[in-house]
Amino acid sequence: MSVRSLAAPWEAALSPAQYQLICYFVGMGALCFFVGFLRAWVTRGEVGARYRTAVIARLGIMSAMFLSYLVLLSGLLFGYTREGAEFVPNGLALLTFGVRYVEWSVAVPLVVIELLAVCVVLGGAARRIRLIAMAGGFFMVFLAYLGAIVASGGTDAAALVGWGIAAGVFWLATTALLAIVVRRSLPALTVDSAALLRSATILLLSSWVLYPIVYALPLVGSGGTLVVVMQVMLTVADIVAKIWFGGVLHRVAKLRTAEDVRAGRDVHPEAIWISSVKQSDAGKPREVYLAAGAAVHLRRPQPPTSTAAPTSQPELFADPQPELFADLET
């Protein structure tokens, strides 16, 4: 192998054992994400409206991952042909790697949304930070896709390294931004919420380290064994970065919901339990705000073409937490 010529991983023939091992892990990943989607759907009501964005993002992640792993399985089933003692790849074998980048282009920005949804960053600053972090997450995946699939075709070492460095810049910038937001959010949280949020962030950012390692593996070897290592590492990293991370973050959202109920900042229709420990009772509105001077709400007819401006109502609960990152507003 010369310095500028590599062997594309999807062009390597596999032994029956290597092929079955890859099928096992990819199939396991598909089932894990299907179960993850079901759990996210069933438990979506456990989180208060303030953190519901994290639940929506998690549902999007699980569905995108499950569908992409089905495509990965189809790439394994139809992209390899048994010839004697080997599974020889054809043109569809590219799906076993290319579709991962397509899925990450959607899942990584959603992971960013999921994490930021439980941080203490509000208003316009939250929208700007979310947009910047989502863009950084997308470009770190897209540039890696150009380097691994498009520009190099899996065989050009210079293109692989060049585009990989460009993707690494966005990876480091996105990682640093998320770490800063989480670090500045921790003092505003309770001890329990802060510990869980710190654990979830470490879990996510640590799992992200595996992806550039796998990206660079074609530079040091080739063959069926390397393909197995790459596929297994990517599947494990996906499960950790999406399912395990999402489970811990869901606990953060539940705990923060319970804290808001106990503090009277929000309401929730049911008691909140975490690991069989009750965090809060069902939170109900303590009072109903009426119009000034009114004792009851009067029934008012609504004309179909009414142009009257709606009567503003006072906020039920004021949020005592100051908006962090206010300096970014200017």
Q: pLDDT tens digits, residue range 161-197?
A: 999 999 999 999 999 999 999 999 999 888 888 999 9
**What mean pLDDT is reported for the chain?**
84
Contacts of residue 24, Cβ cutoff 8 Å, sequence gap at least 6:
none
Tell me which architecture the domain covering 11-263 has in CATH.
Answer: Up-down Bundle (1.20)
In this predicted structure, the answer to whether residue 287 has a pLDDT above a threshold of 50 is yes
In this predicted structure, the answer to whether residue 54 has a pLDDT above a threshold of 70 is yes
Calculate mean pLDDT across residues 314-322: 40
Amino acid identity, position 219: L
Calculate mean pLDDT across residues 260-276: 75
Measured distance CA(316)–CA(289) in Å, rounded: 8
Nearest to 283 by CA among 267, 294, 296, 271: 267
Calculate mean pLDDT across residues 54-66: 95
Higher pLDDT, 325 or 253: 253
Tokens of 52: 């519901």
Measured distance CA(302)–CA(238) in Å, rounded: 52
Tokens of 247: 């489970």
Calculate mean pLDDT across residues 96-121: 93
Measured distance CA(265)–CA(126) in Å, rounded: 20
So what's the pLDDT on residue 288? 54
Q: Would you say 6 and 160 are in contact if contact means Cβ atoms under 8 Å apart?
A: yes
Calculate mean pLDDT across residues 127-141: 94
Global confidence as pTM: 0.81
So what's the pLDDT on residue 81? 92
Contacts of residue 292, Cβ cutoff 8 Å, sequence gap at least 6:
none
Q: Which of 17-26, 57-66, 270-279 has the lowest mean pLDDT?
A: 270-279
